[in-house]
Structure 1
Amino acid sequence: MSIHDSDAPLRYWVEDGIAHIRFNRPSVLNAIDVPTANGFLEACRAVSEDKQVRVVVLSGEGRAFIAGGDLAAMKASPVDTAQALIEAMHGGIALLAAMDAPVLASLHGAVAGGGLGVALAADLAIAAEGTRFNLAYVNIGASSDCSTSWALPRLVGMRKTMEIALLGETFDAAEALRIGLVNRVVPAAALQEETARLARRLADGPPLAQGRLKRLIRDSLGRSLQEQLDAEATGFAACAATADFAEGVAAFFDKRPARYQGR
């Protein structure tokens, strides 16, 4: 699957091992309607099945990442529209979490509501200075979706999550960095370049080990210490049997960059 159509509400393409999922409704700050949500699910299915993909980059076209759900689209039939939108978005987010490839969110402008959920679904996030965040649901009389109530407490703690969720206040990129919501903040003019650089670094890494690490870390909060130790032992032994591990060790002693093949 590849969506290069500039008019599609969501675009998806793969270049040199890097998959791009870009929300593409700039006239409404990439607000998510049902066609956009369906496109997101389709793109996530495609990338989860593509063994050549080393990293996934999530981004938004125009002046924002994602300003949330499209309230205008929900107004006529709020329950049915919300259910269709949420079903597709939740399916896509679950696929992003389950895939071995690291997922990188590149954030700018508005990151609100379901847009914040998409950002939280990524494994890493980089934000431009000037990015504004708001969970926003309480401001329209709704509870949350898109995994926000699961991801936020794990990233920023229970008390801070309650503040973000119940007060519905906007906060900036510096605060997002301070509380651990994003990994890096860069000048707005450098966001595209820094995103590409970080994506390339991830894509050049050892995909089997990255997948094991991602699974270990994501699953750790549901395990006891002993269960996690056992999972780590199993994972390391599996990695040690790969050609990538042999290459990594050889590169270390040869003092050269490793060339990982994913086998």
Structure 2
Amino acid sequence: MHYAHYKFIAFELDTGVLTMRLNRPEAMNAINAGLHEELSRVFAEIASDREVHAVVLTGEGRGFCGGGDLSWFRDITPEGVDKLFREARKLIIDLLELPQPIIAAINGPAAGLGATLALFCDIIYAAESAKIADPHVRIGVAAGDGGAAIWPWLVGPARAKQYLLTGDSLSATEAERIGLINEVVPGDVVLERAMAMARRMADGPRLAIAASKASVNKILRDTVNLVLDTSLALEKENFYSVDHKEAIKAFLEKRPPVYLGR
């Protein structure tokens, strides 16, 4: 295994199929500075690994990924914000450029960047109990880290705006109905279903699969080229707003935020 240096992602390689688990189960796999940094380099590393023919992405424990860890944002410095947004761009581009097929097994709540990670996968299975949301607006920032690119591409602008402008969550069943994900399955088999598809990909005509994926992803890359830099810049600007600081403070104090529009 080549991935022992990762602290917040666990890996298991089984004859060509690499399972990667976001591994902060005590925090519903919320993304802190360490996990974010690891995510910003892992997909490029996998892309160059000749032993990996397909990937399964899931979460350890009860959740897939709860999005950004708000305690990280509370204490973040301007230098940390700069680093966060450099990493955020690389993460999305590297995931999109990954040549191997990547299958998501959404085993529990997927929010914010967690939802974005799942939705950028090639095939997405979700447990019946899973909830999906992009609640960036609820902490006073734009859905900048890929959400503004992937949601409209999957479900159209009207539905995307319904969820991105409210931060509301949707059930796995509703996500399947509107085309956000591929299939809802019982929670006890979601990983098994994803693994079976990954095995099919790994044992299949890999050159043709990779070529087909690259061709389809050209469409999505065009959208990302159009949207991502703008959405990240706007989100970064929001990080310095009064509303963002109030939203973080209110969350940590377990009270409703009072937004001022500035």
TM-score, with structure 2 as normaliser: 0.79
2:57 corresponds to:
58
Deviation at 1:208, TM superposition (A): 0.9
Contact 1:18/1:57 (CA < 8 Å) preserved in 2?
yes
1:131 corresponds to:
130
2:236 corresponds to:
none
2:111 maps to 1:147: no
2:25 corresponds to:
26
Structure 1 residue runs of 5 or longer lacking an equivalent are: 224-263
Rounded Cα–Cα distance in structure 1 between residues aligned with 2:179 and 2:85 = 26
Return the letter of the residue paired with 2:3.
S
1:91 corresponds to:
90
Give the secondary structure class of the aligned counterpart of 2:61: coil
In the superposition, relative to structure 1, how do residues 94 and 193 fare at CA in structure 2: closer, same or farther (>3 Å)? same
Give the secondary structure class of the aligned counterpart of 1:167: coil
Deviation at 1:127, TM superposition (A): 0.4
Deviation at 1:12, TM superposition (A): 3.0
2:15 maps to 1:16: yes
2:198 maps to 1:199: yes
Structure 2 residue runs of 5 or longer lacking an equivalent are: 223-262
Deviation at 1:192, TM superposition (A): 2.1
Rounded Cα–Cα distance in structure 2 between residues aligned with 1:221 and 1:95 = 13
1:121 corresponds to:
120
In the superposition, relative to structure 1, how do residues 166 and 79 fare at CA in structure 2: closer, same or farther (>3 Å)? farther
2:6 maps to 1:2: no
2:245 corresponds to:
none
Rounded Cα–Cα distance in structure 1 between residues aligned with 2:141 and 2:9 = 25
Rounded Cα–Cα distance in structure 2 between residues aligned with 1:84 and 1:108 = 29
2:44 corresponds to:
45
Deviation at 1:163, TM superposition (A): 0.3
1:228 corresponds to:
none
Return the letter of the residue paired with 1:9.
F
Rounded Cα–Cα distance in structure 2 between residues aligned with 1:70 and 1:220 = 31
Rounded Cα–Cα distance in structure 2 between residues aligned with 1:208 and 1:152 = 28
In the superposition, relative to structure 1, how do residues 222 and 140 fare at CA in structure 2: closer, same or farther (>3 Å)? closer
2:156 maps to 1:163: no
Rounded Cα–Cα distance in structure 2 between residues aligned with 1:212 and 1:196 = 21
Give the secondary structure class of the aligned counterpart of 1:142: coil
Deviation at 1:65, TM superposition (A): 0.5
Rounded Cα–Cα distance in structure 2 between residues aligned with 1:131 and 1:179 = 15
Deviations 1:200-231 (A, max 9, x none): 111111111111111211214688xxxxxxxx
Please say which of residues 196-205 and 82-91 is displaced more in the overlay: 82-91
2:177 maps to 1:185: no
2:77 maps to 1:75: no
Rounded Cα–Cα distance in structure 2 between residues aligned with 1:177 and 1:143 = 25
Rounded Cα–Cα distance in structure 1 between residues aligned with 2:34 and 2:8 = 7
Give the secondary structure class of the aligned counterpart of 1:91: helix
Return the letter of the residue paired with 2:64.
F
Deviations 1:121-166 (A, max 9, x none): 2111100001011110111111013311111111000100110111
Higher relative contact order, structure no. (Cα contacts within 8 Å, ≥ 6 residues apart): 2
Give the secondary structure class of the aligned counterpart of 2:165: helix
Contact 1:118/1:146 (CA < 8 Å) preserved in 2?
no
Rounded Cα–Cα distance in structure 2 between residues aligned with 1:11 and 1:55 = 16
**Cα RMSD over matched residues?**
1.9
Deviation at 1:180, TM superposition (A): 1.0
TM-score, with structure 1 as normaliser: 0.78
Count, aligned residues: 221
Return the letter of the residue paired with 1:146.
D
